Amino acid sequence: MRSDIIKKGVETLPHRALFMSAGVKKEDLEAGKPFIGVANSYNNIVPGHILLNDLTNEVIRGIEDGGGIPLVWGVPAVCDGQAMYVEMRLSLPSREHIADNIEIMTLSHSMDGWVGVTNCDKITPGMLMAAGRLDLPSIILTGGPMKTHICEDGKKHHPIEGFGIVGQVKAGKISEDEANKMLPCLACGAGSCVGLYTANTMACVTETLGMSLTKCATTLALDPEKKKQAYETGKKIVELVKQDIKPSQIMTKESFENAIRVDMTMGGSTNAVLHIPAIARELGIDIDVTMFDKIAQETPNICKIIPAGTYEMADLDKAGGIPAVLNRIKKMLNDNLTVNDGSIKEIATEAKVLDDDIIRPLDNPYFEQGGIAVLKGNIANSSVIKQTAVEKEMMVHSGPAKVFTSEPDLLRAIEKKQITEGDVIVLNFMGPAGAPGMPEMLTPTDAIKGAGYKKVALITDGRFSGGTSGPCVGHVEMEAYNKGPIAAIKDGDIIEIDIPNRKLNVNLTDEEIKQRLKEIQPPKRKTTPLLEAYRNKFIGKNCYGK
């Protein structure tokens, strides 16, 4: 084991003294017990993370009972919902920071394996990136979804509804006082947000990859079963260390294809298109954006979970969770090893679907294709849209551009009723280099929806929250800051969006675009040293780092 260098030999006698000063027992060192790291992303800021200390305590108990030495440290966690619009440019960069954090702590302290205790948007992919990078035995425990709040009106409510309420206020549909009175109903307590947003999408991806225990993704944060999963996760990591089962044996190209297929069949967040290739790259595996589109065209969408539908993660859990989804598509799956006792196909075969509407049969899908489409044209080498959350009449749309370079400017335009039905809003200079940091655009997309617009589309070189629905195209490449064609668009240019035919174009010639780009100057924005460093990583590259 890696930790043997600490536990044996006179050269590391002072090292042992320091570990013992932190509480490690001499007899455990002498017994040769493995060092098991626990990367705990608890804080009392983020709803998805406020319960993680309780889960970490159970993980510790499981490690000790399994015969390991638990070594715990803290990992940062940004809530995209709290940071959005205010300052969320640091959210995506935090993913790399988390992977670096885990690399630093595990290697510096000679750990034999580790557990990632996580829940929200960038923390889970950051931990999976670390797992791939380090290739030490590891397992991920996701903290579980929250449940919707049933208020006095008998209706279910949740925090992400608040973004639509902003649009209602901006459009003059309700007053600010009326909006504030709705606030208590939007608070749901502990857990990741109720729908198939990025946090829960990545939890589902983690389970499908084989990196978390069965049913971990959908078991609610406050379900007593979650603490049992935490304890079993602690015991399991010791087994994985003793068997020397590494992430590279689990997260193969075939298992990434499975994860994309499950994401497509469920209609998950477009952020998965950023995260899955980043995780795969740490293992030396190339996942291109076109793979998402290829798999989407082969795979029907059989789940309709918030924001694409009305079902919440609690409903999916009752219907059988990820194992039940796997059961539906088992003939389409590759087989691969998991951290569980069974392979992914064994888990799929043993599972049962307990509700045929929450997880529909393949011959009765909600949508004939998977959740995400990749659009190309003279605006974009590639761009992504959650097609299963777009109304039928907006699958093909053409309209005049209204161009903005900031979210506040767009919200002011909604407030002043400067947006009209048929418009295509262009929100540019929002990419990894342009913002910098590629912030999410849920505030403007839900403001458009909340204001009542039915035939307004939006395209951006930024990204979207998993909560976004409607004709919203993101990840436009190349981004405006890197002289991508999206920077050349002006008010009034006609933009054509054709989702079935995967097209995104503006009625300009190549020469017109080229001439306009010569005049483009990026907006000046206040940055930080971290954001400047992040910008420099993406100058001349696309949002996937290529």
Of 438, 469, 411, 388, nearest to 542 by C-alpha is 438
Annotated catalytic residue within 94, 255, 465, 469: 465
186 C-beta neighbours (distance < 10 Å), count: 16
Amino acid at 468: T
Sign of CA dihedral 174, 390, 388, 269: negative
List the beta bridge partners of residue 142: 118
Rounded to whole angstroms, the Cα distance separating 481 from 283 reads 29
Separation CA 179–CA 318 (nearest Å):
32
User: Is 54 in contact with 221 (CB distance < 8 Å)?
Assistant: no
The rounded distance, in Å, linking the Cα atoms of 162 and 170 is: 13
CA distance 183 to 157: 10
- The C-alpha atoms of residue 236 and residue 166 are separated, in whole angstroms, by 45
CA distance 544 to 475: 9
> What is the bridge-based pairing of β-strands 457-460 and 472-477?
parallel
CA distances from 81 to 33, 88, 120, 127, 480 (A): 41, 9, 10, 20, 25
Q: How far apart are the first and last CA of the chain?
A: 36
3-state secondary structure 88-140: CCCHHHHHHHHHHHHHHHHHHCCCCEEEEEECCCCHHHHHHHHHHHHCCCEEE
Query: Can you give the three-state secondary structure of 488-500, one letter per residue?
Result: HCCCCCEEEEECC
For residue 439, cis peptide bond before it (omega within 30 degrees of 0): no
Q: Based on the residue annotation, tell me whether 255 is a catalytic residue of this protein.
A: no
How remote is the C-alpha of 283 from its chain's centroid?
19
Identity of the residue numbered 388? T
For CA atoms 366, 368, 369, 372, the dihedral sign is negative
- Identify the CA nearest to 467 among candidates 447, 453, 486: 447
| Residue numbers annotated as active site | 465
